Structure 1
Amino acid sequence: MRSVLFLGTARLGLFLVVFLVLTLLPLGMDIFLRALIAMAVSMLLSVFLLRKARQDVSEKLVDSIDRRRAAKAAKK
């Protein structure tokens, strides 16, 4: 659960950092457009910067699914 919270917080943090940078730059854009650009850029950054965290979450998810399947099979 801790790794899921870390990944979510890190993704939100990346978005906020990119949005803050776009807000501080004098670009003359609408705030909605800045938010959309921030979402796209932070998504791309998270692919590269948060690779290990995503792998940890996916491994834990697979382990959890395997344990549930094994427990379900043991009950039958």
Structure 2
Amino acid sequence: MGAMRSVLFLALARLGLFLAAFAVLTVLPLEMDIFLRALIAMAVSMLLSVFLLRKARRDVSETLVDSIDRRRAAKAKAAEK
């Protein structure tokens, strides 16, 4: 999976979790302000993403670490010249 593709997937998955939680809270007949529903949806989606998106977060992290290592190696090689 490419770097941008994995980052984009993670961002869209987090957005999808938020929208799903917000939709559920919107459908429920609760007397709550829309901003309170949004805050609760953010908290719920954050907790769900910790468990459901663990592999995606690990993939993004590994991709970023690899990219940083390649840049450092290239920079060190350029400094040797």
> TM-score, structure 1 length as denominator?
0.99
1:16 aligned to 2:23?
Answer: no
Query: 2: CA distance between counterparts of 1:40 and 1:68?
Result: 36
List runs of 5+ in structure 1 lacking aligned partners: none
Count of paired positions: 76
List runs of 5+ in structure 2 lacking aligned partners: none
Instruction: Give the SS at the match of 1:59.
Output: helix
Query: What residue number does 2:63 align with?
Result: 60
Residue by residue over 1:22-56, the C-alpha shift from the partner in whole angstroms, topping out at 9 and shown as x without a partner, is 00000110000000000000000000000000000
User: Letter of the aligned partner of 1:59 in structure 2?
Assistant: E
Query: 1: CA distance between counterparts of 2:10 and 2:78?
Result: 34
Query: What residue number does 2:31 align with?
Result: 28
Query: 2: CA distance between counterparts of 1:2 and 1:24?
Result: 32
The structure 1 segments of at least 4 consecutive aligned residues displaced by more than 6 Å after TM superposition are none
Instruction: Give the SS at the match of 1:16.
Output: helix
Query: What residue number does 1:39 align with?
Result: 42
Query: 2: CA distance between counterparts of 1:61 and 1:69?
Result: 12
